[in-house]
Structure 1
Amino acid sequence: MNQTFQARSLSAAPPSPAPVPAEAAARAGGLGRGALALLLSAHPAPALAVTVLITVLGVAAGRDVLGSCLVALAVLTGQLSVGWSNDRIDLARDTAAHRRDKPLVAGEVGMRSVSVAACAALLLCAPLSLANGAAAGGAHLIGVAAAWSYNLGVKRTRWSWLPYALAFGLLPAFLTLALPGHPWPAAWVMAAGALLGVGAHFTNVLPDIDADLAAGVRGLPQRQGRRRSRTVAALALLAASAALVLGPPGPPDATGWSGLAVTGALAVVLCLPPGTSPDSRLPFLATLGLAGTDIALLVARGTSLV
């Protein structure tokens, strides 16, 4: 009887919640930090900036809601794959340069994780790009392949500017070839994209020229030196802006001239000395400002890309 009573008492008692071990909480926190480190290894700021700018341009070109979402996803996965592959391929060089700002160098994320993430993003990019159509998707994938070729070794040659020119120059084609009739973009649009890519390349390399030379990386900006590279970047970006304002049929309006004045001022910023730090990111931020102004010009004028 006592055994029966005890059994009933035990069955009637509400179960007490199991305490969460401190080890499990620490593990969860570690996973969160690891995920953040993995994300930072993909260079998320420029990846997001490029994705937003191209998506906005896609809307201006006439892509519908579904098409714009496909553009955003394709561009984002492509950019993430390029960013992750860059940090993974450059691990030895970044370690030698004591780049503790890199999560891989700091040991905050593993090599295998970054490699898997880069490959997974690339595998996702392929069907997302082709979902925009075979021609449009092919144009985007050629651009992504060009960016990977840069990471894999072209950046060490005097042709380091070419993958940037090809990738950026083909982005308008990625947008227009998915439209009815699959038209190619106007020549001035593709020229502006290629010039933007060249300017972005020279600008992005500026803070790391000395470290690159020490590591044996001798792309065209490294061969030209910091001062000449700053001038080339400014001229390329200003030429891109001029193509966007002066290229469309008809005379530019006040908005076009104002945009050209703004981009001219930003180009001047690129030519100025970096101040107290040679590692200043101001030129790169000016590049993003130039690109944003160019997209705003297209949207404000309602200019067709074809």
Structure 2
Amino acid sequence: MPATRATAPPGETAAQPGSGTVATALLAACHPLPAAAVTLFTAVLAAATGRGTAGCAASAGAVALGQLSVGWSNDRADMRRDRLTGRPDKPLAAGAVAPGTVSAAAVVALALCVPLSLASGWLAGAVHLCAVAAAWAYNLWLKRTLASWLPYALAFGLLPAFVTLGLPGQPWPPLWLGAAAALLGAGAHFANVLPDIADDLATGVTGLPQRLGARGSAAMAALLVLGSAAALVLGPPGPVTPYGWGLLALTAAVLLATGRGRGRAPFLGTLAVAAADVTLLLARGAGTA
């Protein structure tokens, strides 16, 4: 973690930045890597289930807007804590963008997310908006509770349903797919929190990972991500393919290699496993629906 304090004191912002600087700061504040990963996962799943070009664009666009709103609201909610712990890598904490600008961006993204979600049908749209609401609940409250893992599991677990409910006949996804997504989301939560546990505890954030500590959270993240891969490989009917066995072996190897790492290594390892999962889903094609 950066040892230096942010340059702007709480409640103030740095000198007025130019429009290009504001755009760059907003991009950094939206948590671009996980936002892009979740959006890509949605697009691939939509393509695999036969949503078509328009369906893929609508579902991926809705998820992208939802992720933007969640990322911006997360940094806005964490602004005071990020300043107290010295996070110049956070645009709000460093004064690179005004709090009102980030708040407005989050609200606008959320407002645009509603009609685009409903473009996939009222049931699919309602499911996705429930997932977004769970993520906002994490940002505003649940991250400080023992249920901090629940919004991640719920939001990720509902994502396949958002995609398949947009198909003709509004089919629900198979149970194994929802379980794999929920386990992956919960595992990502434990892995993502690892670098910030000490700062979180110092500022009163006592979610489940913080209470388990770094070692316990790393172990929980590994078990959940491995469980996600197992559900994806062993859940579908029929024999396990060579790629499936390879995915399980790859997951175990990646978790072993990154589980003892520092900083963002465990989270990046989780993203690598997710990319392998996406490849398997794409190979299965319409069989996921």
Classify the TM-score, shorter chain: over 0.9
User: Which deviates more from structure 2 when the two are superposed, residues 192-201 or residues 256-265?
Assistant: 256-265
* C-alpha distance in 2 between matches for 1:261 and 1:171: 25
**Equivalent residue number for residue 214 of structure 1:** 202
* C-alpha distance in 2 between matches for 1:209 and 1:303: 41
Please list, as runs of the form range in 1=range in 2, the aligned pairs for 1:20-59 lying within 5 A after superposition.
Answer: 30-59=18-47
Contact kept, 8 Å, 2:137 with 2:151, in 1: the verdict is yes
Q: Does 1:287 align with 2:288?
A: no
**Equivalent residue number for residue 242 of structure 2:** 254
Q: Does 1:228 align with 2:216?
A: yes
Q: Which runs of 4 or more aligned residues in structure 1 lie more than 4 Å from their structure 2 counterparts after TM superposition?
A: none
Deviation for aligned residue 1:133: 0.5
Which protein has greater RCO, CA pairs closer than 8 Å, 6+ apart?
Answer: 2
RMSD: 1.3
Contact kept, 8 Å, 1:234 with 1:270, in 2: the verdict is no
Q: Which whole-Å deviations, capped at 9, do the CAs of 1:221-279 have from their partners, x for residues lacking one?
A: 0000000100100000000000000000011011111111111211213432x2xxx4x
Contact kept, 8 Å, 1:131 with 1:137, in 2: the verdict is yes
Contact kept, 8 Å, 2:128 with 2:162, in 1: the verdict is yes
User: Which deviates more from structure 2 when the two are superposed, residues 250-259 or residues 147-156?
Assistant: 250-259
Q: Does 1:304 align with 2:287?
A: yes
Deviation for aligned residue 1:302: 3.1
Q: Which whole-Å deviations, capped at 9, do the CAs of 1:140-189 have from their partners, x for residues lacking one?
A: 10000000000001000000000000000000000110111101111111
The AA in structure 2 aligned to 1:114 is: V
Q: Does 1:204 align with 2:204?
A: no
Contact kept, 8 Å, 1:235 with 1:267, in 2: the verdict is no
Q: Which whole-Å deviations, capped at 9, do the CAs of 1:83-139 have from their partners, x for residues lacking one?
A: 000011111111101111011111110011000000000000000000010111111
Contact kept, 8 Å, 2:209 with 2:217, in 1: the verdict is yes
Deviation for aligned residue 1:303: 5.7
Q: Which whole-Å deviations, capped at 9, do the CAs of 1:62-99 have from their partners, x for residues lacking one?
A: 11000000011101000000000001111111110111
* C-alpha distance in 2 between matches for 1:70 and 1:195: 25
Contact kept, 8 Å, 1:155 with 1:219, in 2: the verdict is yes
Contact kept, 8 Å, 1:172 with 1:305, in 2: the verdict is no
Q: Does 1:159 align with 2:147?
A: yes
**Which structure 2 segments of 5+ residues have no match?**
1-16
Match of 1:67 among 30, 46, 55: 55
- Give the TM-score, by structure 2 length: 0.92
User: Which deviates more from structure 2 when the two are superposed, residues 257-266 or residues 135-144?
Assistant: 257-266
Contact kept, 8 Å, 2:127 with 2:161, in 1: the verdict is yes
Contact kept, 8 Å, 2:50 with 2:286, in 1: the verdict is no
Q: Secondary structure at the match of 2:18?
A: helix
Q: State the structure with more CA Rg.
A: 1
**Which structure 1 segments of 5+ residues have no match?**
1-28
Please list, as runs of the form range in 1=range in 2, the aligned pairs for 1:88-99 lying within 5 A after superposition.
Answer: 88-99=76-87
The AA in structure 2 aligned to 1:298 is: L
